[in-house]
Amino acid sequence: MKENTAAGLEMICIACPIACRLTVSQSGPDVTVTGNRCARGDAYGREEFHAPMRIVTAVIPTDSAQFPCAPVRTDKPVPRDKVRELLQKLYATRVALPVQSGDVVITDFDGARVIYTRTLPPDEVASIGEPGAESKGDDKVS
Amino acid sequence: MIHRNVDAVVIGGGSAGLAAALALRTAGTTVAIVEREPFLGGILLQCIHSGFGLHEFRQDLTGPEYAARFVGPVREAGIEVFLNTTVMEIGEEPTGRSVIALSQNQGVVRFATRAVVLAMGCRERNRGNVAIAGTRPAGVLTAGLAQRLVNIEGCIPGRRVVIVGSGDIGLIMARRLTLVGCDVLAVVEIQPYPSGSARNIVQCLNDYSIPLHLGHVVTRIEGRDRVEAVRIAPLSDGRADAGKERRIECDTVLLSVGLIPENELSRAAGVPIDEGSSGPHVDADLMTGAPGIFACGNVLHVHDLVDYVTEEARRCGERAAAWLSGARKDAMLPVVPGANVRYVVPNACAAGRKNVFYLRALVVKNDALLDVRVGGRQARSQKLSHVQPSEMIRFSLEPDAVPERPAGEEAVVEVSIR
Ligand SMILES: Cc1cc2nc3c(=O)[nH]c(=O)nc-3n(C[C@H](O)[C@H](O)[C@H](O)COP(=O)(O)OP(=O)(O)OC[C@H]3O[C@@H](n4cnc5c(N)ncnc54)[C@H](O)[C@@H]3O)c2cc1C
Ligand code: SF4
């Protein structure tokens, strides 16, 4: 475990709140993780070194004046390198309301789906602010 | 004017208000929720990132998804919801309480009720609270407001951004603004350690190579009409080191310098406020010093995990329902913060039942020990691998930890971190 830190990749383990400072280095086919206090840190360091993955969330513009943004997410992590590419796709999208939380926006991006995370009604039926209007299908999130 | 007669009025329809109202309704009480926004869910709806619900649902949800898990059941339970309606005043009546609210479309709404649940959340500290020198140009806003603009209104508040404070909201916004095309030039933190979570430091700053200046202060904001630059300097011996000052050109400054429970209404209603938490002083039933007024969520103390808000609010609703049904109060002992503890909520512990507490530490420490003493005798000791002020600590005491008839008048529960 006496790896040359100067050649290693420095990172912070986020598998628990202690946040150990890790150094991940490679010599030939061997990858070593140092600075971790436990085995989870070793696993985290390896994954971050080989293929860091992230859940992506964003909003896409809608045609509505009342709810101009529809929030979306990937249903599983995607490679960190591809986050920008995915965002370009999403920003080029424009959606007409209504949308339903869980409905699919993009069926396959690197194995992940992009789904809506909020149900939004079309503008017309949104009669807002009436006391007791809860049952009238107004603009409440659901 | 509209009149309503209900057993309980819940003020605020965020995660706290939703869970409290559901618990009250499940116990058979009639409930109304009053919410000033045109939607239920509160702050969750602008938190489009994931990371919610890991405790409550064992799933990684976004804010809107987490909110929906409660809004559906609230709808089905027949809880009356008043949207676009702001509570102006909580009054006292011979029969209980009155709640006066102003509805955007319907004018004044007046509730006659017996119990009130405060669930108004918190607000952000702004420039006035942190005193930064310089001019007063446009372009200085709180991180949470920026979050609302970007995620709900769909507008981007600037191009070149400096973030003051490394709280989680600021970190989340550093990433969010980067992803919508802004240049986030720096995050400036006065403390020598970040106040947000390590996870957010890694995934929001390091992933995008956004520099974090620890132990630095903003010495000046420049610009006539719009922000033109900020000057930052490292602290040495508690003072800004002018020799090492540097200027960062930018058009927007985001403040992420802490949250304060929103208690104007509570104060006006005569609810005593705890200095440590800045929220109401509450007993083991989460009832404030004003009989019949309960509190939960960020209005009680600022939470970092919504899951704990839900847990606390559900308990609040259950205890409020029990109080409404005339249940006798359990014997209670005062709970006080000891060494290295800023506050403990609730401020009392009930004898003979399980009690759950939340606390904030005053120190950053690895391998710490939580030490709970009842009347001087150790009732619980627990290892904590890591503590820091920005991470709330939760612990519980089993029913046998507090004796039914505690010896001595002055017996208190003291909670320390060693
Ligand atoms: C930016 C941000 C990011 C976060 N990220 C995470 C995360 O990643 N994971 C996590 O678990 N937690 C996170 N949290 C914490 C958690 O989501 C919140 O602490 C929690 O949702 C707060 O719930 P609340 O109901 O107490 O307050 P709020 O959601 O703020 O609800 C209060 C409601 O009361 C209403 N109100 C206030 N005054 C009145 C009045 N006079 N009359 C009528 N209505 C009124 C407000 O409009 C609001 O809707 C985050 C919080 C913030 C702010
Ligand atoms: S290495 Fe282990 S102890 Fe250290 S931060 Fe990671 S999970 Fe926590």
Question: Closest to B49 (Cβ–Cβ): which among A57, A68, A131?
Answer: A57
The predicted complex's ipTM stands at 0.86
**Dihedral sign for Cα atoms in the order B388, B332, B301, B133:** negative
Q: Nearest residue of B to residue A63 by CA position?
A: B154
* Interface size between A and B, measured as CB pairs under 8 A: 125
Distance B210 CA to ligand 1 centre (A): 27
Q: Give residue limits of the domains in chain B.
A: 1-124+259-329, 126-257, 331-418
- Residue B305: what residue type? L
CATH class (in words) of the domain with range B126-257:
alpha beta
Q: Is B390 on the interface with A (CB under 8 A)?
A: no
Q: Give residue limits of the domains in chain A.
A: 2-50, 57-116
- Angle, vertex CA B219, rays to CA B217 and CA B223, nearest 5: 130
Mean pLDDT within A87-115: 95
Residue from A58, A69, A113 nearest A95 by CA: A69
Distance A19 CA to ligand 2 centre (A): 6
Q: Is B105 on the interface with A (CB under 8 A)?
A: yes
pLDDT higher than 80, residue B326:
yes
Q: Is A73 on the interface with B (CB under 8 A)?
A: yes
A16 lines ligand 2 (CB under 6 A): yes
Q: Please indicate whether, in this complex, the C-beta atoms of B68 and A57 are within 8 angstroms of each other.
A: no
Q: Is B111 exposed, middle or buried (0-12, 13-18, 19+ CB in 10 A)?
A: buried
Grade residue B388 by pLDDT with cuts at 50, 70 and 90. confident
pLDDT higher than 70, residue A71:
yes
Q: What pLDDT sits at residue A14?
A: 84
- CB neighbours of residue B184 within 10 Å: 25
CATH topology for the A57-116 domain = CPE0013-like fold (3.10.530)
Q: What pLDDT sits at residue B328?
A: 87
Grade residue B405 by pLDDT with cuts at 50, 70 and 90. low
For residue A33, CA distances in Å to A30, A53, A79 come to: 10, 18, 21
Rounded distance between C-alpha atoms, residue B358 and residue B304, angstroms? 11
pLDDT higher than 50, residue B312:
yes
Q: CB of B176 within 8 A of CB of B163?
A: no
Q: What pLDDT sits at residue A7?
A: 60
Q: Please indicate whether, in this complex, the C-beta atoms of A131 and B38 are within 8 angstroms of each other.
A: no
Task: Select from B22, B49, B193 the residue whose CB has the most chain A CBs within 10 Å, as the one to mutate to test that interface.
Answer: B49
Q: CB of B99 within 8 A of CB of B116?
A: yes
pLDDT higher than 80, residue B285:
yes
Name the residue at shortest CA distance from atom 16 of ligand 1: B306
* Residue A44 alpha carbon, nearest atom of ligand 2: 6
Taking contacts as CB-CB distances below 8 angstroms, the residues of chain B near A139 are 38-39, 83
Q: What pLDDT sits at residue B132?
A: 81
Q: What pLDDT sits at residue B330?
A: 87
pLDDT higher than 90, residue B278:
yes
* Residue A16 alpha carbon, nearest atom of ligand 2: 8
For the ranges A7-21, B117-131, B334-348, the maximum mean pLDDT occurs at: B334-348
Q: Nearest residue of A to residue B152 by CA position?
A: A69
CATH topology for the B1-124+259-329 domain = FAD/NAD(P)-binding domain (3.50.50)
CATH class (in words) of the domain with range B331-418:
mainly beta
For residue B314, give how far its alpha carbon lies from the nearest alpha carbon of chain A (Å).
Answer: 20
Mean pLDDT within A58-66: 93
Name the residue at shortest CA distance from atom 5 of ligand 2: A19
Q: What pLDDT sits at residue B129?
A: 66
- Range of weakest confidence among A46-50, B155-159, B336-340, B367-371: A46-50
**Number of continuous H segments (helices) and E segments (strands) in chain B:** 8, 30
- Range of weakest confidence among A8-17, A24-33, A122-131, B160-169: A122-131
Q: Is B80 on the interface with A (CB under 8 A)?
A: yes
Q: Is B68 on the interface with A (CB under 8 A)?
A: yes
Q: What pLDDT sits at residue A78?
A: 95
Enter the tokens of residue A69: 């943004």
Distance B87 CA to ligand 1 centre (A): 17
pLDDT higher than 50, residue B1:
yes
| Mean of per-residue pLDDT scores for chain B | 93
* Residue B265 alpha carbon, nearest atom of ligand 1: 41
Q: Is A107 exposed, middle or buried (0-12, 13-18, 19+ CB in 10 A)?
A: exposed
pLDDT digits (tens, 9 = 90+) for B206-260: 999 999 999 999 999 999 999 999 999 999 888 989 899 999 999 999 999 889 9
Q: What pLDDT sits at residue A123?
A: 77
Task: Kindly report the pTM of this predicted structure.
Answer: 0.90
Q: Please indicate whether, in this complex, the C-beta atoms of B68 and A141 are within 8 angstroms of each other.
A: yes
Q: Is A139 on the interface with B (CB under 8 A)?
A: yes
Residue from B278, B214, B353, B308 nearest B15 by CA: B308
pLDDT digits (tens, 9 = 90+) for B122-159: 999 887 666 788 888 899 999 999 999 999 999 999 99
Taking contacts as CB-CB distances below 8 angstroms, the residues of chain B near A97 are none
Dihedral, B56, B59, B60, B61 alpha carbons, nearest 10: -70
A25 lines ligand 2 (CB under 6 A): no
Q: Please indicate whether, in this complex, the C-beta atoms of B80 and A132 are within 8 angstroms of each other.
A: yes
Residue from B68, B97, B102, B98 nearest B82 by CA: B102
Q: What pLDDT sits at residue A138?
A: 38
For residue B123, CA distances in Å to A28, B253, B390 come to: 53, 18, 17
A12 lines ligand 2 (CB under 6 A): no
Q: Where are the alpha helices (DSSP H) in B245-381?
A: 264-268, 306-324
Collect all residues with Cβ–Cβ distance below 8 Å to A84 and sequence separation of at least 6: none
**Dihedral sign for Cα atoms in the order B23, B29, B34, B39:** positive
Grade residue A141 by pLDDT with cuts at 50, 70 and 90. very low
Place of tokens 């591809």: A82
| Mean of per-residue pLDDT scores for chain A | 83
Rounded distance between C-alpha atoms, residue B188 and residue B201, angstroms? 13
Q: What pLDDT sits at residue B355?
A: 95
Query: Between helices B63-76 and B15-26, what is the axis angle to 10°?
Result: 30
Name the residue at shortest CA distance from atom 8 of ligand 2: A16
Q: CB of B38 within 8 A of CB of B82?
A: no
Taking contacts as CB-CB distances below 8 angstroms, the residues of chain B near A141 are 39-41, 45, 64, 67-68, 71
Q: Please indicate whether, in this complex, the C-beta atoms of A17 and B385 are within 8 angstroms of each other.
A: yes
Q: What percent of chain A has pLDDT over 90?
A: 59
Mean pLDDT within B45-68: 93
- Topology alike, domains B1-124+259-329 and B331-418: no
Rounded distance between C-alpha atoms, residue B176 and residue A82, angstroms? 16
Q: What pLDDT sits at residue A19?
A: 80
Grade residue B407 by pLDDT with cuts at 50, 70 and 90. low
Partners of B117 in the β-ladder: B10, B294
pLDDT higher than 80, residue B345:
yes
Mean pLDDT within B364-379: 91
pLDDT higher than 70, residue A140:
no
Q: What pLDDT sits at residue A3?
A: 37
- CB neighbours of residue B396 within 10 Å: 10
**B234: enclosing H helix or E strand:** strand B229-236
A41 lines ligand 2 (CB under 6 A): yes
Taking contacts as CB-CB distances below 8 angstroms, the residues of chain A near B45 are 118, 141
